[in-house]
Amino acid sequence: MRARALLLAAGLAGAGLLALVGMTRWSDLHAGAAPQSAPFSAGMITRGAYLAKVGDCAACHSVAGAAPFSGGLKMLTPIGAIYTSNITPDVRNGIGAYSLADFDRALRFGVASGHTLYPAMPYSAYSITAPADVAALYAYFMRGVAPDPAPNRDSEIPFPLSMRWPLTLWRWAFAPEPRAFSASNDARLSRGAYLVEGLGHCGDCHTARGPALQVRALGASGGPAYLAGAMIDGWHAPSLRNGDRTSIGAWSEMEIAAFLRSGNNRHGIAFASMNEVIVNSTQFLTEDDALAVARFLKSLNDPAGGAYVYDATASLALRRGDAGARGAQLYLDNCAACHRPDGRGYEGVFPALAGNPVLTSAPHDSVVRIILQGMRTPRTAAAPAQFTMPAFAWRLSDQDVADVATFVRASWGNQAPAVDAKAIARLRPKDQPTPNH
């Protein structure tokens, strides 16, 4: 009797699994709407090119040395590497055979070739893209992009983890059905929300993820987790909310817009992967769209508390020759020539450290990695000159890095926690041994 019961249970479980797989397959095959085709006018192609920059499509689908949008970028996931696809209009290896409905299905529903896409494609954010904008993007990729026959690469995810049907379950759980964007009475605010929450997909980097790697909040309606900062690829993407000293709360709308279009303002300069976002995407925003984004970000108000206020104590001590604070002498020897003893830097050249959200937020990973690895400013039409901070991994010990990081995080009104030397080793480049001194 027990054996029969076990066989029955196994049979029911197997039947249930087959039914579930069948349901996911049916969902993938029937996902999407059927948008009407539109003529490929010059205006649509031009608008689509602009929207492709807003969506930063090149960041994932273009790699150095290859044709634009021919794919091949390696993206690491917890279960193995995947490679981005060819989205040129090549009929065999690209999307040249896609109808507008197929294109819409991939962009907003996250389904292509009959299966759910990996959520590295931010279709959860793209789901609010207006049909007219989808049509413009389609026109651009079909008529404004040169076809390239580069073949798509298979993922490096081993079986059975490579099975696609669990992705459909993820899509059911975490990806909203495409919907019309709800506009407010403030046209500029609505435009900014549409850009940030949609094609801009800012939340994919600046919002923390849950245990299933889902973005915890997809928009302002998701609560204070949205754009509150997150770790990504070993860097801390700071809060974009209008909050305390750890965010861009002290930035004006004009300063935010300037940062998006040039990569810098008086508060700081873009770094790490944000450099690529500036260069490939946001520098091309129209002035109106950049200001719209700024208006929306300033609307994300957090409870008041701890606004940044400049404190001249550290600066005055350094001017008096008092370098007794932890890391102060290291700062004078290695940093002050560019960032100045008062921590204010030189706008557009060397970023201010005083009040910089990268320094004032709790995670120290970004500032430590910049000290160790150096950084180069983005080159944009608005800021064509490029400046480089050298790497100090070869020169400073783990204790030195911890000390100078602690100093800049606790001076000029910054109030971030101290850094322990034991935390530096994991961030030090493997090819840069700790100096012996």
pTM, whole model, 2 decimals?
A: 0.90
Q: Tell me: do 38 and 170 sit in the same domain.
A: yes
Residue 339 lies in a domain: yes
Range of the domain at 413: 313-427
Counting the structural domains of the chain, the total is 3
Residue 34 and residue 134 in one domain: yes
Residue 140 lies in a domain: yes
Tell me, what CATH number does 350's domain have?
A: 1.10.760.10
Same domain, 294 and 319: no
Same domain, 357 and 281: no
Query: Of 174, 209, 241, which one is at a domain's C-terminal end?
Result: 174
Q: Note whether residue 250 is domain-resident.
A: yes
What is the pLDDT at residue 173? 94
Q: In angstroms, rounded to a whole number, what is the distance separating the alpha carbons of residues 57 and 200?
A: 10
Q: Is residue 13 part of a domain?
A: no
- On whether residue 390 sits in a domain, the answer given is yes
| 216 and 319 co-located in one domain | no
Residues 400 and 317 placed together within one structural domain of the fold? yes
CA distances from 358 to 111, 205, 398 (A): 37, 14, 20
Q: Which of 298, 322, 353 is the last residue of a domain?
A: 298
**Which uninterrupted H or E stretch holds 3?**
helix 2-29
| Buried residues in 261-282 as b, exposed as e (16+ CB within 10 A) | bbbbbbbbbbbbebbebbbbbb
> Could you tell me which of 192, 51, 168 has the C-alpha nearest to residue 115?
168
Residue 180 located in a structural domain: no
Q: Which pLDDT score, from 0 to 100, does residue 183 have?
A: 77
Q: Three-state DSSP class for 80?
A: strand
Q: Is there a domain that residue 358 lies in?
A: yes
Q: Are residues 378 and 317 in the same domain?
A: yes
Q: Per 3-state DSSP, what percentage of the chain is helix, strand, and coil (rounded to 5)? A: 40, 5, 50
Residue 3 lies in a domain: no
Q: Are residues 117 and 211 located together in one domain of the fold?
A: no
Same domain, yes or no: 259 and 317? no
- The phi, psi pair for 82, rounded to 5°, reads -125, 160
What are the angstrom distances between the C-alpha of 213 and each of 54, 77, 180, 422? 24, 10, 25, 28
| C-alpha 304 chain-centroid distance | 26
Which DSSP helix (H) or strand (E) runs through 82?
Answer: strand 80-83
Which of 145, 174, 203 is the last residue before a domain boundary? 174
356 and 242 within one domain: no
Residues 109 and 75 in one domain: yes
The pLDDT averaged over each successive group of 10 residues in the chain (437 residues) is: 61 62 63 71 96 96 96 91 96 96 95 92 96 96 97 92 91 89 88 97 96 94 94 91 87 96 93 93 98 97 80 94 95 96 93 92 92 94 92 94 97 94 89 66
For the record, the structure tokens of 11 come out as 């049979």
User: Same domain for 33 and 122?
Assistant: yes
Own/partner pairs, 193-198, CB within 8 angstroms, 24+ separation: 193/219, 193/220, 193/296, 194/128, 194/130, 195/54, 195/289, 195/292, 195/293, 195/296, 196/227, 196/293, 196/296, 196/297, 197/125, 197/128, 198/125, 198/126, 198/127, 198/128, 198/129
